[in-house]
A = this chain, B = another copy of it.
Amino acid sequence: MSIKYGLLALLEREPMYGYQLRSEFERSTGATWPLNIGQVYTTLSRLHRDGLVEETGESDEQGKVVYRLTDPGRTDLARWFTTPVTQDDRPRDELAIKVALAVTTPGVDARAVVQAQRTATVRHLQELTRLKAGAAEEDIAWLLVLDSMIFRAESEVRWLDHSETRLARMPRPPVRPAAAAAETTTQEVPR
């Protein structure tokens, strides 16, 4: 969904062709989320099919297919901007799922998972800080995206620390991978 509306927003600024849309999108978000060019074309064709964009007469130079917003497209875009993002819109959080399942999966040391992630996230945070130092002051969009990622990474580190202390005062680290699992449950052991 984000791509669909990303393209519509860029077209609201000015009519554009596919290749241009990709570079503008990546410029606006500091190439944080590189946009696959194939997807731009398929998304554009769907937007065209649904009447949200139309081709300006290809009076332009050869090849380039320039698109422009239609009125329904403008309406849809305005709706997107005025409607907040809800929990249902957000994708599953892989990290949260991983840690949540780690605590109940036999043979997995949940605290090791948390610590490894913490190292990776802190490293990422340093990279973000470095990027921010070199960012142009007038590139507001990119600065906002950068800050967004920094805030998120910081909160992730805090959550990981919080999780570690919560795991520290817990019953028992799960038993060893292979041996000693049968004497408690005694389920039917195949082969």
Which positions in A face B, CB cutoff 8 Å? 1-3, 5-6, 9-10, 12-14, 28-29, 33, 56-57, 68, 77-78, 80-87, 89-108, 112-113, 116-117, 119-121, 124, 140-145, 147-149, 151-152, 154-156, 158-159, 162-163, 166-167, 170, 187, 190
**Residue of A89, A101, A102, A106 with most partner-chain B CB within 10 A:** A101
- Chain B nearest CB from A102 CB (Å) reads 6
Decide if the interface of chain A is mainly helix, strand, loop or mixed. Answer: helix
CA distance A30 to B91 in the complex (A): 15
Q: How far is the CA of A121 from the CA of B84 in the complex (A)?
A: 8
Q: Is the CB of A100 within 8 A of B162?
A: no
